[in-house]
Amino acid sequence: MAYIRKRLGKWQCVIRVKGKPPTTKTFLIKKDAKLWGKKTELHFFREDNDIQKCHYPLFKECLKRYRDEIVIHKRSRVMETKLISYLLKESFVNYKLNFVDSRVVALYRDRALKTLKSSSVRRRLAIVSHMYTIAKKEWGYKIENPVLNIRKPKSPEPRNRRFTNHELDKLIKGNRASPKLRLIIQIALETAMRQSEILRVKLEDINGNTLFIPIAKTKPRTIPLTLKAMSLLNNAELPFNITGNALSKQFKKLCDHYGIEDAHFHDLRRQSLTNFMLERNLSVAETMMIAGHSDPRMLLRTYNNLKVEDVAKKLD
């Protein structure tokens, strides 16, 4: 369980216990290393036998329980389940829950940032953080959340990609896009709906010049429709018989064909919301109603990518 080794002229005690990360400490005197090793072993023994603290399950057991009991009820369950499968491949998940402390999580953060974007690492850390919150509030474990005690990766700057009129002409008027894809692109520009919201639209959701969106990112909402949007939706075969993954691939393939770089389908939503404020002179509150945001900061920071030149034209 514990052994002493000489290292760089000093004595190092190493303790390895199944279900716990290796614990080491270095001393000048060999006797001190032995004494510390015995005390630490006794400390671990008391924890494992419920003499000192409650018994904690392995981190991976809690993560699986969180997936099966909590994530399954979320709208983002598919994405979070996939992220949890990635986390379960990490070595630290074999530690007991109380031994995955801020040091272990910080090491994982630094290791993950070498291969993943900061936004991806933040999503994984958010899952771990919420799991600890549930473990403390609902599962009865007296434990602190280690994610709250580490530095989070810096959020990337929001995208400010806007399509030029020439690019939009290629996407909509070009002969490369299928009629369905061309129609979906036009609806995205006229309604500022998310991709998933567009694919769920049904004919019965349309009521005159408004559209009810029953399943959204946050909560159901009703949005106003432009005359063009009403015409597009009324002439479409709803709901669209295409998956979100297939739509994203078709859109990327279309952009690649026309040499339109760094373009995502979600950029159409950003373009539409900006146009509502710039060309149709909608206020922030009115645009929020369409976007479904509850905080104006999200709209102003992420979606309202007005240019200085746009504001200058208004001043003139």
| pLDDT tens digits for range 113-166 | 999 999 999 999 999 999 999 999 999 898 999 999 999 998 877 778 889 999
Q: How far is CA 177 from CA 43, 160, 168, in A?
A: 67, 24, 12
Distance in angstroms (rounded) separating the CA atoms of residues 1 and 17:
6
Q: Is the pLDDT of residue 52 over 70?
A: no
Question: Rounded to two decimals, what is the model's pTM?
Answer: 0.68
Q: Is the dihedral of CA 148, 153, 154, 160 positive or negative?
A: negative
DSSP strand pairing (206-207 vs 221-224): unpaired
DSSP 264: -
Q: Which amino acid is at 20?
A: K
Q: What's the pLDDT at 134? A: 96
Please, which residues bridge with residue 3 across strands? 14
Q: What's the pLDDT at 44? A: 80
Q: What is the mean pLDDT of residues 68-91?
A: 94
Q: Which two tokens stand for residue 197?
A: 């919201």
Q: Of 76-90, 104-118, 155-169, give the lowest mean pLDDT range.
A: 155-169
235 or 130: which leads in pLDDT:
130
Q: What is the mean pLDDT of residues 168-188?
A: 92
- Burial (Cβ within 10 Å: 0-12, 13-18, ≥19) of residue 249: exposed
- 3-state DSSP assignment of residue 61: helix
Q: What's the pLDDT at 306? A: 62
Distance in angstroms (rounded) separating the CA atoms of residues 24 and 295:
48
DSSP strand pairing (206-207 vs 23-27): unpaired
Short-list 127, 119, 24, CA closest to 70: 127
Q: What's the pLDDT at 310? A: 64
84 or 155: which leads in pLDDT:
84
- Burial (Cβ within 10 Å: 0-12, 13-18, ≥19) of residue 189: buried
Give the best-scoring range by mean pLDDT among 39-43, 52-56, 79-83: 79-83
Contact by Cβ (8 Å): 93, 64? no
Give the best-scoring range by mean pLDDT among 13-22, 47-56, 104-113, 301-310: 104-113
Q: How far is CA 92 from CA 23, 99, 102, 110, 204, in A?
A: 14, 9, 12, 14, 50
Which residue in the block uniquely carries the two structure tokens 């479904």? 292
DSSP 58: B
Contact by Cβ (8 Å): 63, 88? yes
Q: What percent of the chain has pLDDT over 90?
A: 61
